Amino acid sequence: MTDRVDIETPLGSISVYQKGSGEPVLLWPSLLMDHTLWTQQIEHLAGQYRTLAFDPPGHGTSSPVTRTFTLDECADCVCAVLDALEIPRTHFVGNSWGAMVGAVLAARYPERVASAVLLNGTASPASPLQRMKFRILVTAAGILGSLRPPLDRAVLRAFLGPTSLRSRPEAAETVLEVASRVNVESARYCVRSVVSERPDNVGLLAGVSSPVLVVAGVEDRIFPVSEVRAMAAAIPGAHFVVIDGAAHLLALEVPGRVNELVSDFLAQHRFAP
């Protein structure tokens, strides 16, 4: 069982779900997802690590957001949580939005990041097509009142690839369940902040000094492998891995493979808290 703690940050109250003990590992999910994206990683890691899984701003049981924000402010939220829990340094695992936050955190606050695993992230601004797709999705959700039917197909195609849609029904069920709980007004601000107004951070990531593993899903429709590879190339010394048969939500689609990659990488970069 995980314990929940709510912590005040620059972007409101953030819910953090904790389990296990040892060196801390912080988990930040994708846009429109909450801490349950990491259910299998929490169970896997909690035997050796103190796992801290976020409901990010405006998602899950964290406070709704009422304005746009920056990735730097998200990094400040992480620091606020670490300070409140008296954690000077942590490992960081992030997916998409979480990967972007982890990269900025490592660049801005290198002393707080022991290592980082960044899944399906980017250092680049959103393309016009990506801005349009997400704008249409949240506009339709606002009209309908939620991300439930008839938006199911659009949500699934955004996050899952053909392999998962064909052979992993449990992943599809989880995506739709979590997305249906999203606060639509918060989602609008989050999409504007994380997608539409996302800056070019390639230059910033040149200052990252922590060990970093960047992972791409070959079937990801949001960030193609080439874009994730470019993120890895922007980070000095970053390792880069491509996973076949999976798309944007790797932790949910191929949890065993992600658990293996994360465990092996963290084991190489243990530290004394």
- What digits encode the pLDDT tens for the residues 85-94? 999 999 999 9
Residues shown for the chain: 273
pLDDT value of position 132: 78
**Is residue 80 domain-resident?**
yes
Residue 146: band (very low, low, confident or very high) from pLDDT cuts 50, 70, 90: low
**Is residue 62 domain-resident?**
yes
Please identify which residue in the block is written with the tokens 């990801």.
220
Residue 141: band (very low, low, confident or very high) from pLDDT cuts 50, 70, 90: low
Nearest to 55 by CA among 91, 100, 90, 7: 7
**97-108 and 71-84 are packed helices; what angle lies between their axes, rounded to 10 degrees?**
70
**Is residue 273 domain-resident?**
no
Average pLDDT, the chain: 93
Residue 140 has pLDDT above 80, yes or no: no
CA distance 103 to 121: 9
pLDDT value of position 217: 98
**Is residue 233 domain-resident?**
yes
Residue 142 has pLDDT above 70, yes or no: no
CA distance 66 to 133: 22
Do 3 and 19 contact (CB within 8 A), yes or no?
Answer: yes
**Is residue 232 domain-resident?**
yes
Among left, alpha and beta (phi > 0; psi -120 to 50; other), residue 172 is alpha
The token duo for 242 is 């491509």
Residue 130: band (very low, low, confident or very high) from pLDDT cuts 50, 70, 90: confident
**Is residue 272 domain-resident?**
no
Domain range for 155 is 3-267
pLDDT in tens, 214-241: 999 999 999 999 999 999 999 999 999 9
17-28 average pLDDT score: 97
pLDDT value of position 151: 62
The token duo for 69 is 């924000």
Residue 145: band (very low, low, confident or very high) from pLDDT cuts 50, 70, 90: low
Which CATH number is 41's domain given?
3.40.50.1820
**Is residue 91 domain-resident?**
yes
Count structural domains, the chain.
Answer: 1
pLDDT in tens, 40-78: 999 999 999 999 999 999 999 999 999 999 999 999 999
**Is residue 198 domain-resident?**
yes
